Chain A
Amino acid sequence: MSVPITLLGLLEREPSYGYDLKRDYDAHFGWGRSLPFGQVYATLARLARDGKVSAATVEPGAGPDRKRYAITELGTSEVHEWLRTPIEPEPHLQTLLFTKVVLALILGRSARTYLDTQRAAHMERMRQLTELRRTAGSVEALLADHGLFHLEADLRWIDLTEARLTSVAKAIKA
């Protein structure tokens, strides 16, 4: 989950209130999904407990929204370490696509019908992302492209699997 490290990273710019962090997170990383306030404050509380941020009450009254958070040295070095480290290339060896095909073949149901439906759903999503990319700014286009390439990879697998269904079915029943 990258929410804690992302909030921590946003704090490296300047000390901020939880509300401002949530707003910036939604603007840059939300894409239609808004981060709940509760999650923001819970995350900030955990980061404070771990010594990665410090909280200062700058306004009278109680409650987390009165606090301004600042990143600590420990927090800063964690952000830098995170940005330097490549993520684990996901091998996707347990994909749902694979499970559905194999289970269909084991049960003697039509894996081909499933693959056709899946292909159509993938194409529809690619069409949506393509449309979005045509109208979006270059930052959103970057994210849409990432989605498009992944869907395309799935589609290649779907085509290949469909071409090999007969021999795979034989191998499973053997």
Chain B
Amino acid sequence: MSIGTLGRDRSASPMVEGRCLVKSFGRTPALNGASVAVAAGEIVAVMGPSGSGKSTLLHCLAGIFTPDAGEVHVDGRRTDRLGETRRSEMRRTDFGFVFQFGQLVPELTVEDNIALPLLLGGKTRRYAYATARSWLPRLELDGLGRRRTGEVSGGEAQRVAMARALVHHPKILFADEPTGSLDSLTGEHVMELLADLTRAEGTTVVLVTHEPRVAAYADRMVLVRDGNVTVAEPPHAQSHPADGSAGRRRPPSLAR
């Protein structure tokens, strides 16, 4: 049993899976045989101290890095052996990305930025812009469509980035510290929208964060330490049957 799939329905094949991933930068090892599996529609938070390898794990799963050893499977297909052209196509069509900052083109408007993945994917201008505009209210960006992204606030910029990451209905959203550049209140609002939207869309989410309050929006948390995924499930989860409902162990209540 892979440690990263503890408590999940192990009969269903995961949407994205890393098996025994190894990755070094020069002589510095970043991943030492890390394994993780994320079910379709699941939001998994990847936590761990700085330098633990959590971002490298995300980059390997997302096909940005190729692992030195180990395998990456996306939706039942092995992807780590694909050439750069195929991987880049996969990143554009199957994945969405939200990073800490710097992913928007500041000279372009909010609409332009959201429409970009659709235009790059060969959609017509008319379709791309109509779709982009339809995302504005979902991210509470009404009235900001014509604003340049260099002129909007940090929280607004992250919401634009989220729309851009989701506009083409990716299978998987990879989010690397999506709230890292925001104050905690704004960050939490962004995370709440991210969780709501991806749950509504059924998007699988791999979320790297060092903030417990952000990770608490996920269905499950895995911990990366020294390049390995080491996760301990809470005690009450171990006695629970693996019926795939790991994220909903008991109804939440303020009472203990």
CA distance A133 to B28 in the complex (A): 42
- A143 cross-chain contacts in B, Cβ below 8 A: 254
Partner of A123 from the list B221, B235, B255 (CB cut-off 8 Å) is B221
Stretch in contact with the other chain, from B53-61, B119-127, B149-157, B208-216: B208-216
| 0 or 1 for each of B220-238: is its CB under 8 Å from A? (1 = yes) | 0101000000111111110
Question: Is A32 interfacial (CB-CB < 8 Å)?
Answer: yes
CA distance A140 to B237 in the complex (A): 26
Interface residue count on the B side (C-beta < 8 Å): 26
- B235 cross-chain contacts in A, Cβ below 8 A: 117, 121
| A35 CB, nearest partner CB in chain B, Å | 13
Q: Which of A31, A130, A144, A152 has the most chain B CB atoms inside 10 A of its CB?
A: A130
Contact between chains at A120 and B231 (CB < 8 Å): yes
Contacts A127-B218, A134-B192 hold; do A163 and B49 have CB atoms under 8 A apart? yes
- A132 cross-chain contacts in B, Cβ below 8 A: 252-254
Q: Which of B212, B235, B237, B249 has the most chain A CB atoms inside 10 A of its CB?
A: B212
CA distance A143 to B213 in the complex (A): 15
- B215 cross-chain contacts in A, Cβ below 8 A: 123, 126
Question: Is B101 interfacial (CB-CB < 8 Å)?
Answer: no
- B192 cross-chain contacts in A, Cβ below 8 A: 134
Contacts A130-B217, A134-B192 hold; do A32 and B212 have CB atoms under 8 A apart? no
Contacts A113-B232, A124-B249, A126-B216 hold; do A32 and B221 have CB atoms under 8 A apart? no
Question: Is A168 interfacial (CB-CB < 8 Å)?
Answer: no
Contact between chains at B216 and A130 (CB < 8 Å): yes
| A155 CB, nearest partner CB in chain B, Å | 5
Partner of B254 from the list A31, A121, A163 (CB cut-off 8 Å) is A31
Partner of B221 from the list A120, A131, A144, A151 (CB cut-off 8 Å) is A120
Q: Which of A32, A123, A143 has the most chain B CB atoms inside 10 A of its CB?
A: A123
Question: Is A47 interfacial (CB-CB < 8 Å)?
Answer: no
- A152 cross-chain contacts in B, Cβ below 8 A: 212-213
| B250: nearest chain-A partner, CB-CB | A128
- B234 cross-chain contacts in A, Cβ below 8 A: 117, 120-121, 123-124
| A150 CB, nearest partner CB in chain B, Å | 11
- B253 cross-chain contacts in A, Cβ below 8 A: 31-32, 128, 132
Partner of B232 from the list A32, A116, A134 (CB cut-off 8 Å) is A116
Contact between chains at B254 and A140 (CB < 8 Å): yes
- Given known contacts A124-B236, A124-B249, what 7 new A-B pairs fall within 8 Å (CB)? A117-B235, A123-B212, A123-B215, A123-B234, A127-B221, A128-B253, A147-B254
A–B complex contacts, Cβ < 8 Å, 7 sampled: A31-B255, A113-B232, A120-B234, A126-B215, A127-B219, A148-B216, A155-B212
